[in-house]
Structure 1
Amino acid sequence: MDRCRLHQPGGPRRKIRQVRIMHRIYRHAARVVVHLGEHTPGSGALFAELEKADEDLASISFYVSPNLNATIIEELEQLLQRPWFSRVWVTQEAASNEELKFMCGNSVVSRRALDGCFFGYSAYNKVLTKRALPITFRGPFQLRQSLETDAVSYLMSLLIQSRECVASDERDKVFALKSLVNMKHQGSLDRLIDYTKDAESLFQEIALLFLSRFDAAFLVCTRHPHQRDMPSWVPDWSQSLPLRSGWLLDQRCAVDGWSSDRMYRVVPNPKASIALCTYGAEYARITHFSEPFVFERIEDVELPIVALYHNSRPLCDMFHLDARESGAHHRFGWPIWDAMRNMCPATLHSLLSGSGTFYNATSNRDNARPDLYQRWAYFYLRLQGSCIALLDNGVLTVVPQAAQVGDVICLISGAPAPCLLRPLEEGYWKMASGDCPIPGLL
């Protein structure tokens, strides 16, 4: 069998039965071989390197290659851009067993060799490529649910990790992940797999499942708004815009000193069938926002961020950079730029990058490439599809590009991060984002 065909006569109900048992095929397979396509003019050198690694790894526990030059790394980059690595359905192939093999042309190499090359055969502490490790490339021990983790928590973790994966049917971005849940809990998620329901019904069902498990903490998954025919607080899992890590589910927004006795009825419109009623407090309203950050690739982050850091005196002083007039302030507008200039540089850096990771815009790209691109990834996760917003209390935050002047930052009881709400008629609110980081509040 070279592939599993699901588009057979029988309609949605037959497809439901097939999808529910797909994981058994890969779990019981003696070996799974992934065909990545034919060789390109340069991929032969990469697979020659991987075949040599396989030979040595068969007799020793580690391998150090003298041949990991720029050409090999570039070919690895190209390989990771092949369609297999971005398809959500193949996560079950990746999680099947350790006997996963990769075929390109007539070359066949092990997962272990490809995995080792990705990390430079260096104890797995640095990556050589611009891209992060695709979820479809992780092994069974990384992908399969542990016995201690409940199925609902693990499903949310997988949905966040697989955010950039693609599927021809947006419902499959959920259905394909069920097979990664521990066998003990497979049955509890079978009811989600139903091709007779549309995507909106599926996403609402998942939202109610998460609400019962996490309470308001799951709102952080609605980072970017949607225009679907479903409540605005329901996460749209067809989106590919990044989410912050699931560790936020264990956090709570700092609301000390704020009265959280106001009730918010969050809906897409007053006639919505499902309203989320929660308590919270208004923090501030948006008065200005910058141009949005939109990147096609992680490396596209470099140019605007370098320009910003060299153009900001506080950031120049903090990171010992040469000040340059680059016109970066035009992206933000003077009100926001003035607020940034008066802000603690460490706080500003944390707001922009989403972490305290060290930044050095003068690093030599050839000598520090892995670390440098990992830094760009922090900025990408925080800023992609978002704007810097100035609030009426003088505080800066990051909001989705669909935000509007007058939208309200609210501190919702039990939520991991401040939320962005838009007032509607009759006391109702629309959720624009469940994750708007505020310095000092998370």
Structure 2
Amino acid sequence: MQELHYNPLNPYEIRVIRLFTEADHPVHATGPLHCHILHVPLEDSYLVNSYNATKGLSRTWPVTVDNAFDKQSTFPRPPDYAQLFEHDLWERCFPFARTPEFPHLKVPERLRITKANRMATRWPRDQNIKHDRTWRYAWGDFVALSYVWGDPSVKREIFVDGVPVPVTASLEAALRELRNRVRIQEGFLIWADALCINQEDLDERAAQVARMKDIYRAAWQVVIWLGPEQHDSDLAIVTLRYMSLQLQHKGDMSIFYRRVRLNIVRLPFWQWQHTHTTLNIQKHALEAIYHLLARPYWRRLWIIQEVALGATNSPVLCGHSSIRLIDISNALQFIKGDAAALGQFIVMSARGWHKFVKRWDNAIGDTHQISEKPWERPLAIASLQDPGRQFSTIKSDIYDMLVLVSEANASDERDRVYGMLSLPQVAQKIQLIPDYNRTASETFVLFSANLHLSRNLNGLRLVNSAVPAIGTRYLKSMHFSRPRKPKFIHRHRVVHPGCNHDLPSWAICWSCPRNPAEPLRNVGTVSRLASTDSPSISGNILTIQGVIFDTISTLSAFHPTESDTSYPWNAPNPPTSPYGSHDATREALARTLIGNFEGSEDHGLDPYRAILDWRLWSSSIQGDIKNLFGLQNFYYRNKTLQLFRTWTLESLIRLPESTTPWLVPRTATYREVLLGARRLLRWRRLVTTNSGYLGLVPAATRAGDVIVLIPGCDTPLVLRAIANKEGKGKFSVVGEARIQWVMEDEVDRRLNEAGGTMDSISIV
């Protein structure tokens, strides 16, 4: 079989492909794909015109869902959007069928709205093509394709310069769709990494990876390919566009659902009010959004830089439908703003109420692939194009970028490092040239060393510490739907063994799965510590300046089925509370459990009072009982935890006047604080230090580990002293921690008491 031959690239050249379309010859309208590889110079000296004077009308890509407003309506609603709110016969007869809380009420197929009636959009042909315009470059212009490679074992055949070349099914589908798009028919060339880079030549591959920033910035447009049509993706795109318009013009959620309150019983001595939420929008439209957000594209590593370097009007193609990335970003912001209601409906519509909360009883648990909020990662990636927007979950700090990379998928682990080098947050701190002749371990150590020496030590927060074993089979007794401590635990299993690649504990390992604990968000800086001495590395020892703040003494179990029965671990002499009174200590506990609350406003209900509501720990909210990270399971495993000399966890949570409660009202604040506490407590321990400070630490933490504050790291770190003689005076990193201070300047006060000097800390 004839193989494709790549001619060597000059330092200033890139390869692009010219895809043959029906504009070249009618034979290319259907059938196998044919293309031709070109070498083109990517230098400013070859630019002949600006964007506005060239073909393409200033980077405008026609999409299927556009600003076709209905002028007769007070709200700019295109006619196609009305179908989102139509209801079939079954739903009109049985309004409860539109409520995700009742997933067993299936709509008969014969009564469903057909796809042909639901979707009437077609991608438009551009009426504004100016054939007399010139190209930006002397050789033409090109678009960069951002896509998922897909399963490498599933191949499709295309013809490159007359040679049959096997490519992944994902790339073949993307090129097949682009062949029908007006911009490609107009003559725009395409850059796709799988074809335009000789993947077998490691030196060329490294050189082209180093030029990714230049390639994507120079591209006329970055075209995003989510994949073929599936799970009503065309309906999802129409719905997202409608949400984007709703946010821009009204921002009103009531059009999507309405709340109905019914007084079932209304007597002077007893009142029973039922609250019911009815969806106005079609439930299958929300289900389609969920599946669109769950696509593998959003987990691909390289899209982080590809999207960040593209334009805010980048086209997003999915099957025959398309939308601008800015509209997806606006729609996800719209969903995030009402996560407690609209966001919950999206998850429940696809997974059902019984699967809304991920169960951990017989699985390792995956906090990344299946999230309660599947819009968070796509929103974070879309926000990279404009990090100054208020709704962005990405800040300017490099740590947020490291978290995104750690949760992404990559076929070559070294690409986790090389895929970040073009991003502004990384490029200004690290000067590293890609080299695929290095091993993965060498690449990780070199990247971590460069990062730490730049005085940014937030990478230490991503240490892969081990998670102890839990029982994955158990019998849990029940009494009036209130769980007790699980009994007869067996089949113990280690959830996360930690890094085993023989790297220093200060090096970020990208080969091991990230620690399953949810990253600590919105923590700010721990203090105004400033070190005059830069970190130094000698061999495998990282020497930094810091403050050894306190020692951990009391620890909770991190999971209700933790195999080690010695937890909760009570110190011999629990400290007194530095927070003061019983009420002040309760508030400190609440702030420890939910951190800086960012939930929805709900009739002025204080979230810190809501998280300490005894009903939330006893009867809770429907569905939380099944979750082993729920507050009930945490409470019954750790209620004897002696946090302070006179108070246990039980005495802080359950007040003496507490009585047998009714169910918790399913309001936005209660749902948000419950979810926030669950996400913080997952795979973490609630601890107190020798001085009585409350905190959350990694599951691998043990009594005697120290809390350390380091300039350049936004959270406290848990370090463990090396026990052997060779490691005397040295520490290993366990992970990041959250400490509830008595006052904001507590660390500075401690430092002043010590004469303003910091300790020299050696980490191996």
TM-score of the aligned structures, taking structure 1 as reference length: 0.68
- Contact 1:336-1:390 at 8 Å conserved across structures: no
Equivalent in 327, 330, 334 of residue 640 of structure 2: 334
After superposition, the C-alpha distances for 1:67-112 in whole angstroms (9 at most, x for unaligned) are 6554323321211110001112112332211332222221122213
User: In 2 relative to 1, CA 251–229 (structure 1 residues): closer, same or farther, beyond 3 Å?
Assistant: same
- Contact kept, 8 Å, 2:316 with 2:322, in 1: the verdict is yes
On the 8 A contact 1:223/1:243 being kept in 2, the answer is no
Distance 1:90 1:334, change over 3 A: same
Q: Taking structure 1 as reference, are residues 331 and 231 closer, same or farther at Cα in structure 2, changes over 3 Å only?
A: same
Identical aligned pairs, as a percentage? 18
1:252 corresponds to which residue? 527
**CA deviation map 1:277-332 (0-9, x unaligned):** 545436223454303389xxxxxxxxxx9xx99xxxx9779447477375643432
Q: Which residue of 2 aligns with 1:197?
A: 438
2:541 maps to which of 239, 262, 274: 274
User: What residue in structure 2 maps to residue 410 of structure 1?
Assistant: 707
- Cα gap change, 1:251/1:401 in structure 2, threshold over 3 Å: closer, same or farther? closer
Match of 2:225 in 1: 35
Q: Secondary structure at the match of 1:34?
A: strand
Match of 1:5 among 184, 190, 194: 194
Rounded Cα–Cα distance in structure 1 between residues aligned with 2:447 and 2:200? 26
Query: Which residue number corresponds to residue 85 of structure 1?
Result: 298
Matched, 1:324 2:625: no
Partner of 1:114: 328
1:169 counterpart = 2:470:
no
Contact 1:160-1:246 at 8 Å conserved across structures: no
Distance change >3 Å, CA 288–CA 245, structure 1 → 2: closer
The equivalent of 1:240 in structure 2 is: 514
The residue correspondences of 1:157-236 to structure 2 (distance < 5 A) are 157-181=400-424, 189=430, 191-214=432-455, 219-222=460-463, 224=465, 226-227=498-499, 228-236=501-509
Output the CA distance in 2 between the equivalents of 1:45 and 1:317.
38
| Change beyond 3 A, Cα 1:336–1:436 | farther
Q: CA deviation at 1:131?
A: 2.3
Q: 1:71 to 1:9 in 2, by over 3 A?
A: closer
Moved more, 376-385 or 77-86: 376-385
1:46–1:72 Cα contact (<8 Å) kept: yes
The residue matched to 1:233 in structure 2 has which SS?
coil
User: Which 5+ residue runs of structure 2 have no aligned equivalent?
Assistant: 1-16, 18-174, 176-191, 257-280, 344-372, 390-395, 467-497, 530-534, 562-589, 595-607, 620-631, 655-662, 745-764
Structure 1 residue corresponding to 2:383, chosen from 133, 138, 143:
138
Unaligned runs of 5+ in 1: 145-152, 255-264, 295-304, 346-360
Structure 2: how far apart are the matches of 1:166 and 1:23?
20
Change (3 A) 1:362 1:170: farther
Q: Which amino acid aligns with 2:447?
A: I
Q: How does 1:48-63 map to 2 (within 5 A)?
A: 48-50=238-240, 62=249
Give the partner amino acid of 2:411.
S
C-alpha distance in 1 between matches for 2:460 and 2:502: 18
* SS of alignment partner, residue 420 of structure 1: strand
Q: Is the 8 A contact 2:421 2:430 kept in 1?
A: yes
Please tell me the residue identity of whatever aligns with 1:386. R
* 1:195 counterpart SS class: coil
- Count of residues in Structure 1 that have an aligned counterpart in Structure 2: 378
The DSSP-based 3-state class of the residue aligned with 2:407 is coil
Cα distance between partner residues in 2 of 1:139 and 1:73: 25
Q: d(CA) in 2 for partners of 1:342 and 1:223?
A: 35
- Judging by fraction of residues, say which structure has more helix: 1
- Is 318-327 or 231-240 further displaced after alignment? 318-327
Shift of 1:114: 2.1
Q: Contact 1:420–1:433 at 8 Å: present in 2 too?
A: yes
Q: C-alpha separation between the residues in 2 aligned to 1:31 and 1:63?
A: 30
| In 1: Cα distance, 2:611 partner to 2:327 partner | 44
Of the three residues 364, 367, 377, the one matched with 2:666 is 364
- Picking from 276, 283, 286, the partner of 2:550 is 283
Shift of 1:5: 1.1
1:364, distance to aligned residue in structure 2 (A): 3.1
* Deviation for aligned residue 1:17: 0.5
Contact 2:559-2:634 at 8 Å conserved across structures: no
> What is the alpha-carbon distance in structure 1 between the residues aligned to residue 733 and residue 229 of structure 2?
46
In 1, distance between residues paired with 2:225 and 2:527?
A: 45
- Superposed CA RMSD in Å reads 4.4
Q: In structure 1, the residue corresponding to 2:290 is in which secondary structure?
A: helix
Letter in 2 for 1:200: S
> Counterparts of 1:320-399 in structure 2 under 5 Å?
321=615, 324=618, 328-332=634-638, 334-335=640-641, 339-343=648-652, 362-364=664-666, 368=668, 375=673, 378-379=676-677, 381-391=679-689, 395-399=693-697
Q: What amino acid maps onto 2:330 in structure 1?
A: G
- Aligned twin of 1:435: 736
Distance 1:286 1:432 in 2: 18
The alignment status of 1:425 with 2:724, answered yes or no, reads yes
User: Cα 1:120–1:288, aligned 2, differ >3 Å: closer, same or farther?
Assistant: closer
**Structure 2 CA distance for aligned equivalents of residues 202 and 81 of structure 1:** 30
**Contact 2:301–2:408 under 8 Å retained in 1:** yes
Contact 1:101/1:110 (<8 A) preserved:
yes
Shift in Å at residue 19 of structure 1? 0.6
Q: CA 1:293/1:157 → structure 2, altered by over 3 Å: closer, same or farther?
A: farther
1:31 Cα shift? 2.8
User: Does structure 2 conserve the Cα–Cα contact (< 8 Å) formed by 1:233 and 1:266?
Assistant: no
